[in-house]
């Protein structure tokens, strides 16, 4: 790894008590370029602009994917990643689906640890605070040809964050737009998936909803995801969530919630979730809670669900009554080293002295 430490740190401008989400970036970034059929050397370098043109193929043809993950700081100042091997596996799955070169574990895990170690002072400590990390791969070849590119970049950037949603939100069940289609790229974290979701979400916002519950493209009868999150439904004391597929992202937080729920003896069913079943459960007062999970939000509790002309209000639950909030606390306590980690998910980032190369 080539290491170039910044000579102009911006850490003095960072206020850990006044954090937005995704707008302030740490001092350094990881960059590695692919050309002539192979990846070059990984570089840890000062964060900043890179020389690209509007003819870059990633912009024109959408060969771009990314991951979302976090680093956490405990009360003693130690720093931890959370299940990074899952993000490594998934970024390569995405790259393969988009016909991009896969990266090595050394590039991904080694790059993560070096970057987080170098800029560990940027990681805020406190309730809901963390360092959000964005590894990404995108085509960089300068050519206007609709084909697989020959040049790519792997990069990692990071930004200090606090909680994404702090209050329960209202969501609208989509009966027209879909997030992904059979045979498409729904199981990949393709950049274009997010661009395609913005317009339907804008329409829902005009009706007073913060997010959408996406339904299947063929019939719109089944839940798939919610916004950029996996979705969970609690009917009585059973949790339901759709199985992952070529249309549904295999979320790391989703998998963690499922394992935590089973570990606590909660009844969990991974099966198709019918819109009609959810509506019927609400009419019988058996729909207890619905929520979304993902790296950025951890957990987003829904206070109301819209469907066509209906708006269904959900019960207000205490943390002790809510499966969503109970599981969120259990997960965050593991991530921030406040609780034992029986699953081996927490990965400590050791302190090293990184010399400028």
Residue 348 lies in a domain: no
Average pLDDT value for residue range 209-230: 96
Residue 350 lies in a domain: no
Residue 121 lies in a domain: yes
Q: Are residues 123 and 177 in the same domain?
A: no
Average pLDDT value for residue range 67-73: 97
Q: Are residues 137 and 274 in the same domain?
A: no
Residue 352 lies in a domain: no
Strand 298-307, strand 169-173: pairing? parallel
Q: Are residues 230 and 298 in the same domain?
A: yes
Residue 342 lies in a domain: no
Q: Are residues 147 and 233 in the same domain?
A: no
Q: Which of 214, 210, 194 is nearest to 202 (CA)?
A: 210
119 pLDDT exceeds 80?
A: yes
Residue 114 lies in a domain: yes
Q: Are residues 320 and 240 in the same domain?
A: yes
pLDDT in tens, 87-118: 999 999 999 999 999 999 999 999 999 999 99
Distances in Å between the Cα of 271 and the Cα atoms of 3, 104, 268, 274, 303 are 47, 34, 9, 9, 23
The CATH number of the domain holding residue 190 is 3.20.10.10
CA–CA dist 249, 270 (Å, integer): 14
Q: Are residues 118 and 203 in the same domain?
A: no
At 354 the pLDDT is 56
**What total number of domains does the chain contain?**
2
354: which 2 tokens? 């990184």
Q: Are residues 132 and 177 in the same domain?
A: no
State pTM to two decimals: 0.95
Asked whether 66 and 136 are in contact (CB, 8 A), the reply is yes
End residue of a domain, out of 120, 141, 162 = 162
Q: Are residues 14 and 87 in the same domain?
A: yes
- The DSSP line for 47-115 is -------TTBHHHHH--EEE--EEEEE-TTS-EEEESHHHHHHHHHHHHHHTT-----HIIIIIHHHHH
Q: Are residues 283 and 257 in the same domain?
A: yes
Residue 303: burial class (beta carbons within 10 Å; 0-12, 13-18, 19+): middle
User: pLDDT confidence of 19, banded at 50, 70, 90?
Assistant: confident
At 167 the pLDDT is 87
CA–CA dist 56, 75 (Å, integer): 44
Average pLDDT value for residue range 211-224: 97
Asked whether 331 and 298 are in contact (CB, 8 A), the reply is yes
At 356 the pLDDT is 40
Domain residues for 138? Answer: 2-162
End residue of a domain, out of 162, 188, 223 = 162
Average pLDDT over all residues of the chain: 95
| Phi, psi dihedral angles at 234 (to 5 degrees) | -110, 115
CA–CA dist 77, 226 (Å, integer): 34
Sign of torsion over alpha carbons 16, 110, 48, 141: negative
Distances in Å between the Cα of 303 and the Cα atoms of 104, 141, 206, 225, 288 are 42, 46, 18, 17, 11
Q: Are residues 110 and 202 in the same domain?
A: no
End-to-end C-alpha distance for the chain, whole angstroms = 9
pLDDT in tens, 260-318: 999 999 999 999 999 999 999 999 999 999 999 999 889 999 999 999 999 999 999 99
Residue 296 lies in a domain: yes
End residue of a domain, out of 131, 162, 193 = 162
User: pLDDT confidence of 355, banded at 50, 70, 90?
Assistant: very low
Residue 94 lies in a domain: yes
Q: Are residues 223 and 156 in the same domain?
A: no
52: which 2 tokens? 């690209």
Q: Are residues 130 and 203 in the same domain?
A: no
The CATH number of the domain holding residue 16 is 3.30.470.10
38: which 2 tokens? 């192979």
pLDDT in tens, 157-187: 999 998 877 789 999 999 999 999 999 999 9
36: which 2 tokens? 């002539």
Asked whether 108 and 136 are in contact (CB, 8 A), the reply is no
357 pLDDT exceeds 60?
A: no
| DSSP assigned state of 12 | G
CA–CA dist 26, 123 (Å, integer): 9
């Amino acid at each position: 790894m080539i290491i170039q430490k910044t000579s102009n740190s911006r850490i003095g401008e960072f206020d850990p008590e006044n954090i937005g989400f995704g707008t302030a970036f740490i001092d350094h970034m990881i960059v590695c370029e692919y050309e002539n059929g192979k990846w070059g050397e990984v570089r840890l370098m000062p964060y900043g602009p890179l020389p690209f043109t509007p003819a870059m193929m990633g912009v024109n043809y959408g060969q771009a994917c990314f991951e979302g993950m976090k680093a956490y700081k405990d009360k003693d100042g130690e720093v931890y990643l959370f299940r990074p091997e899952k993000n490594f596996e998934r970024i390569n799955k995405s790259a393969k689906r988009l016909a991009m070169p896969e990266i090595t574990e050394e590039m991904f895990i080694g790059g993560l640890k070096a970057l987080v170690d170098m800029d560990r002072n940027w990681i805020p400590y406190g309730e809901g605070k963390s360092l959000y990390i964005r590894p990404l791969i995108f085509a960089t070849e300068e050519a206007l040809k609709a084909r697989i590119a020959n040049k790519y970049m792997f990069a990692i950037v990071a930004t200090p964050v606090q909680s994404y949603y702090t209050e329960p939100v209202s969501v609208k069940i989509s009966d027209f737009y879909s997030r992904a289609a059979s045979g498409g790229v729904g199981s990949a974290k393709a950049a274009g998936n997010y661009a395609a979701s913005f317009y339907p979400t804008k329409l829902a916002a005009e009706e007073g909803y913060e997010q959408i519950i996406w339904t299947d493209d063929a019939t719109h009868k089944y839940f798939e995801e919610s916004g950029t999150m996996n979705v969970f439904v609690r009917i009585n004391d059973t949790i339901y969530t759709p199985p992952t597929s070529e249309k549904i992202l295999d979320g790391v937080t989703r998998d963690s919630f499922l394992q935590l729920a089973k570990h606590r003896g909660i009844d969990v069913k991974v099966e198709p979730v019918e819109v009609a079943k959810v509506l019927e459960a609400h009419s019988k007062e058996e729909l207890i809670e619905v929520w979304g999970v993902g790296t950025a939000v951890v957990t987003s509790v829904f206070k109301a669900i819209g469907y066509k002309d209906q708006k269904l209000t959900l019960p207000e639950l205490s943390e002790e009554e809510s499966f969503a909030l109970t599981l969120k606390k259990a997960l965050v306590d593991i991530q921030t080293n406040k609780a034992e980690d029986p699953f081996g998910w927490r990965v400590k980032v050791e302190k090293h002295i990184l010399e400028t190369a």
